[in-house]
């Protein structure tokens, strides 16, 4: 199995725990809690910033010294409604108590502590179409560059219809050379509908120093430390993923694979 593919640790509780230390990089952290109604997840941001994403279901959230009430709404990501999310600065304690079965993602990155705790969506998050033909996909920008809501984190959701591709044409963001390209590590949390489906992701460098092709299944996580990273899903299975990116600059600038750069005119 590829070292870039993370299988769930179980079906309940903390099922993913990607840290800079166990990923072998410097910025992105990603944890995922799957809770039954009445169960809880909790944590502390420490010296990092966190965006909590209510991926599915509802939970009462207390964080950064405040009761944020019941957050969440959609019971399946494939409803394509925007998620409730909460930004937390460093030195914050948080707790989520599930009021329905729910999934809570914990996206984290280094922070200088310049942004306060605040709700991010669902208000203001619009499902946006990108691409055409078999490269059509749909985007929920939770905390991308245009919104000055975080120091490091970039977070977005992508829906790829059955038979389509996304994170394509192939592109990379693995050099710190702004404005040409930025260095951003990235995780993908994958979901399939129906859940017995599968999809593929390739992570590769043009010189062949990295070339991994992964068969991903429902609830898998993939890591993109460098290189190009397209995804494809077969006929009959819709693909969702939650992307987390972070690096030394909060900007998304990428370079296309020269072999496929002509396709960028169609994206």
> For the segment 223-252, what is each residue's pLDDT rounded down to a tens digit?
999 999 999 999 999 999 999 999 999 999
Query: How much is the average pLDDT of 113-131?
Result: 95
pLDDT digits (tens, 9 = 90+) for 39-51: 999 999 999 999 9
Query: How much is the average pLDDT of 2-15?
Result: 97
Q: What pLDDT score does 121 carry?
A: 87
Domain of 206? 5-266
- Cβ atoms of 135 and 165 within 8 Å: the answer is yes
What share of the chain in percent tops pLDDT 90? 96
Q: How far apart are CA 168 and CA 232, in angstroms?
A: 9
pLDDT of 266 strictly over 70: no
pLDDT of 29 strictly over 80: yes
The two three-digit tokens of residue 172, written as one number: 């990379």
pLDDT digits (tens, 9 = 90+) for 59-92: 999 999 999 999 999 999 999 999 999 999 999 9
Q: How far apart are CA 251 and CA 175, in angstroms?
A: 12
Q: What pLDDT score does 263 carry?
A: 87
Domain count, the chain: 1
Phi-psi region of 243 (alpha: psi -120 to 50; beta: other; left: phi over 0): beta
pLDDT grade, residue 264 (50/70/90)? confident
Q: Which of 153, 148, 65 is nearest to 111 (CA)?
A: 153
Q: What pLDDT score does 57 carry?
A: 98
Q: State the CB neighbour count (10 A cutoff) for residue 46.
A: 12
pLDDT of 267 strictly over 90: no
3-state secondary structure 193-259: ECCCCCEEEEEECCCCCCEEEEEECCCCEEEECCCECCEECCCCCEEEEEEEEECCCCCCCCEECCC
CATH of the domain at 32: 2.60.120.10
CA dist 175 → 219, 227, 252 (Å): 29, 10, 11
What is the dihedral sign for C-alpha 133, 138, 144, 146? Answer: positive
How many degrees, rounded to 5, is the angle at CA 77 between CA 72 and CA 83?
35
Q: Which of 51, 61, 153 is nearest to 102 (CA)?
A: 61
pLDDT digits (tens, 9 = 90+) for 145-169: 999 999 999 999 999 999 999 999 9
pLDDT digits (tens, 9 = 90+) for 179-194: 999 999 999 999 999 9
DSSP helix/strand/coil, 69: strand
Q: What is the pTM of this model?
A: 0.97
């Amino acid at each position: 199995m590829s070292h870039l593919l993370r299988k769930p640790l179980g079906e309940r509780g903390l099922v993913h725990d990607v840290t800079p230390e166990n990923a072998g990089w410097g910025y992105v952290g990603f944890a995922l809690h799957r809770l039954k109604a009445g169960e809880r997840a909790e944590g502390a941001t420490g010296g990092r910033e966190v965006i909590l994403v209510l991926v599915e279901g509802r939970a009462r959230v207390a964080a950064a010294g405040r009761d944020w009430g019941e957050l969440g709404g959609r019971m399946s990501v494939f409803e394509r409604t925007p998620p409730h999310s909460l930004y937390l600065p460093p030195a914050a304690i948080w707790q989520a108590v599930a009021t329905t079965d729910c999934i809570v993602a914990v996206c984290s990155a280094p922070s200088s502590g310049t942004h306060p705790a605040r709700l991010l969506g669902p208000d203001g998050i619009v499902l946006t179409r990108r691409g055409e033909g078999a490269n059509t996909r749909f985007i929920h920008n939770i905390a991308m560059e245009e919104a000055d809501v975080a120091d490091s984190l970039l977070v977005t959701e992508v829906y790829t219809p059955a038979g389509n591709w996304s994170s394509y044409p192939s592109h990379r963001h693995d050099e710190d050379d702004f404005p040409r390209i930025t260095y951003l590590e990235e995780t993908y949390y994958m979901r399939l509908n129906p859940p017995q489906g599968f999809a593929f992701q390739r992570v590769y460098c043009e010189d062949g120093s990295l070339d991994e092709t992964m068969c991903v299944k429902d609830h898998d996580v993939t890591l993109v430390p460098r290189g190009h990273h397209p995804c494809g899903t077969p006929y009959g299975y819709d693909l969702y993923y939650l992307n987390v990116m972070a690096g030394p600059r909060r900007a998304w600038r990428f370079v296309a694979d020269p072999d496929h750069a002509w396709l960028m005119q169609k994206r």
